[in-house]
Structure 1
Amino acid sequence: MKKTAPTIRDVAAAAQVSTATVSKYINGAQRFSPKVEAALASAISSLGYKSNPLAKSMITGRTNTIGLSVLDITNPHFSSILKGANRVANDQGYSVLLVDTEETPSRERRTLEDLSLRVDGMIVFSRMREHEMAWMTEIDKPLVFFGSLSELPLPTVASDDHSGAFMLSQHLRMLGHKRIAYLGFSKSRRDEERLGGIRECLDAAGLPLTIYDADAPSLAEGERLCASIVLGSERPDALICYNDLMALGFMKEAENLGVAVPHDLSVVGFDNIPYGKYTTPALTTVDLQSERMGATAMEKLLAVIRGEPVEKLTRIAPQLMLRASTMARRA
């Protein structure tokens, strides 16, 4: 015969206290004398009592769950962010509930409003422009945003995309590249920051920039646009891609077209996803510290939930990862 699980009444009887006292003790709503707390702890241990998380959340209004909204979970950049966020959450007794908006701005609001009903706070990526996001400040849950915001009063964690793009451009310039192109993704606000860093570097050197725009930040788009870039009349001698996925897709198709990287043109990306290290040639990229970004955002959100003051913007410094997809050009 299956043994019945001990109840809160069993704990109260064993500790010789009221059920209300047991409830307040379990939920951390009140402290008691050392003698009472010792009796409660002993009763819970000896009976093997386990509290019901759903019942606890109904009493406290807390779920001990954090919502994380990403743009595309198949992108290893977001997987690394999840890993960093989840590690910090688990250390603090929280779980992470992940939602994927699949690079679709039109579904973000409904998804995030639904998510807010199930969690104690949220960490959010968004493709929306800032003037379209005012409704986020009306969500009645603590929220940390990924990326820079100029007007909305939300705490944020951001990579320094401008500096990362400047470093990539400077590296290519120092290798002797004169015809540099950018395969960007203008639907992202981060594209604007990256393009700004590239322009700052090339303008200072008096070098032109050719810009191509992708429909999605994906392997398939890098592959699709490759022919128009490398077979055109003005083929660049170096290409900066919006992210590593686009760079890897481009490099694969370039090989199919008989164009050698880096001998015919150098290729670089952003994110330092794991795959880039193991391609041939290995991809030069900017490491935006994805896992650290996730951990930092979670630490900031949990501080907000505890009512602690936090700085509005935490910016993560990038690191240039030099590999074999770039090479010097002859003067």
Structure 2
Amino acid sequence: MREERNRQRAVTQEDVAQAVGVSRTLVSFAFRGAPGVSSETRQAILEAAQRLGYRHNAAAADLASKRPSAVGLFLLDLRNEVFVDIFSGVRESLEGARNRLILSVSQSQGTVDEGAMDSLVEARVGIVIAATLFDTDERVKALAASMPLVNVARRIDGVDSVYSDDRAGARAATEHLLRLGHTRVAHVTGPGAEGHLERRRAYAATMLDAGLTPRVVVADEYTQEAAWRAASALLVGAERPTAVFAHNDELALGVREAAHALRLSVPRDLSLVGYDDSRIARLHGIDLTSVDLHALDLGRAAGAAALARLANPGAPPVDQSSNPRLVVRRSTAAPAHVASGTEHRG
């Protein structure tokens, strides 16, 4: 009869406690995964909750707690598949935990999107995983001082950081094109921001080390459309580049579209390298040579770092770097003058 009455109204923790014969406080501890509850008692509580139809309100539990457990995830741009992979990795790392995951996506590719960040603060998250912040180190440090923060794809001293070695990845991409025989290699990137210049710098350094002149073209946004506009001017004239290394796959696809509009064939007339190794780079017909920064693994590592920070707020900052890998596909080849055996100086 009690269970029939419970179906007519919202079941509470008090109902679960009475069914098991324990205190409501113990039920609350069991749902929060707090210590002091035996495995047998926790199992009995969970079974009773399922039988009665009780739904644990994690948001209410966080409001009642002095240490919120929810994890906020700030993503720069869901149109770029690398951020989808990071999201998948974070979600996977939290699957075994009881922490809610709250997502917020930026509407800006400039400074910190305060609206997106405010939504996470209002949700009373215990920590924010940020992928990726386009702002100065000092502003990010100030943000981290106001709430726990895990910084993804960028390293900042004193802030939990999980990132890939951009200098190594960019150097590998540029050296690949030089080994093929290209001497006119351009780099297409987006607006400069502190902490996001390592690929550009490594490209330039590699070109100079080879005795060649770097040529950096800056698109006004990190979008395919912006790269198409920038590359449309780059890929004309007698001294046009025979190869382009793009900051990411999104920009590489914009360069590819501009080349197609100019009737340039990839890779016969233009070799093309991207960065991120997103799903679209692997599609048949695209076959984009790209640098794999292991975005899924970055998300997993960021999720683990967030859980560790929540468990131990006073621990030293995380500084976790991984090595990217160049994946060679059909978008790169020797330039025509090398392939035909004729001599040409860039």
Residue number among 278, 282, 285 corresponding to 2:283 in the alignment: 278
Query: What is residue 219 of structure 2 aligned with on the other side?
Result: 214
Query: What is residue 99 of structure 1 aligned with on the other side?
Result: 104
Deviates most, 31-40 or 314-323 = 31-40
Structure 1 residue 312 corresponds to structure 2 residue 324? no
Deviates most, 308-317 or 179-188 = 308-317
Structure 1 residue 121 corresponds to structure 2 residue 121? no
Instruction: For 1:100 and 1:204, locate their aligned partners in 2 and report how far apart those are by CA, in whole Å.
Output: 39
TM-score (norm 2): 0.85
Instruction: For 1:224 and 1:61, locate their aligned partners in 2 and report how far apart those are by CA, in whole Å.
Output: 51
Query: What is residue 67 of structure 1 aligned with on the other side?
Result: 72
Query: Per-residue CA shift, 1:151-180, capped at 9, x if unaligned?
Result: 4x2110111111011001111111111111
Query: What is residue 167 of structure 1 aligned with on the other side?
Result: 172
RMSD: 2.7
Residue number among 53, 59, 63 corresponding to 1:58 in the alignment: 63
Opposite residue 69 of structure 1, the aligned amino acid is F
Q: What aligned pairs does 1:153-232 form with structure 2 within 5 A after superposition?
A: 153-189=158-194, 191-232=196-237
Instruction: For 2:63 and 2:110, locate their aligned partners in 1 and report how far apart those are by CA, in whole Å.
Output: 32
Instruction: For 2:305 and 2:212, locate their aligned partners in 1 and report how far apart those are by CA, in whole Å.
Output: 41
Unpaired runs of 5+ in structure 2?
none
Deviates most, 195-204 or 184-193 = 184-193
Shift of 1:52: 3.2
Unpaired runs of 5+ in structure 1?
none
Query: Per-residue CA shift, 1:288-308, capped at 9, x if unaligned?
Result: 111111111111111111117
Query: What is residue 4 of structure 1 aligned with on the other side?
Result: 9
Shift of 1:34: 8.5
3-state DSSP class of the match of 2:9?
coil
Aligned residues: 329
CA spacing shift, 1:229–1:191, aligned 2, 3 Å: farther
Instruction: For 2:151 and 2:257, locate their aligned partners in 1 and report how far apart those are by CA, in whole Å.
Output: 34
Instruction: For 2:43 and 2:171, locate their aligned partners in 1 and report how far apart those are by CA, in whole Å.
Output: 61
CA spacing shift, 1:173–1:30, aligned 2, 3 Å: closer
Q: What aligned pairs does 1:23-38 form with structure 2 within 5 A after superposition?
A: 23-28=28-33, 31=36
Instruction: For 2:295 and 2:30, locate their aligned partners in 1 and report how far apart those are by CA, in whole Å.
Output: 39
3-state DSSP class of the match of 1:269?
strand
Deviates most, 285-294 or 6-15 = 6-15
Query: Per-residue CA shift, 1:125-166, capped at 9, x if unaligned?
Result: 211121333421332x32101244454x21101111110110
Opposite residue 127 of structure 1, the aligned amino acid is F
Structure 1 residue 135 corresponds to structure 2 residue 181? no
CA contact (8 A) 1:268 1:325 kept: yes
Shift of 1:44: 4.5
CA spacing shift, 1:62–1:127, aligned 2, 3 Å: same
CA contact (8 A) 1:105 1:128 kept: yes
TM-score (norm 1): 0.88
Query: Per-residue CA shift, 1:69-94, capped at 9, x if unaligned?
Result: 11111111111111111111122233
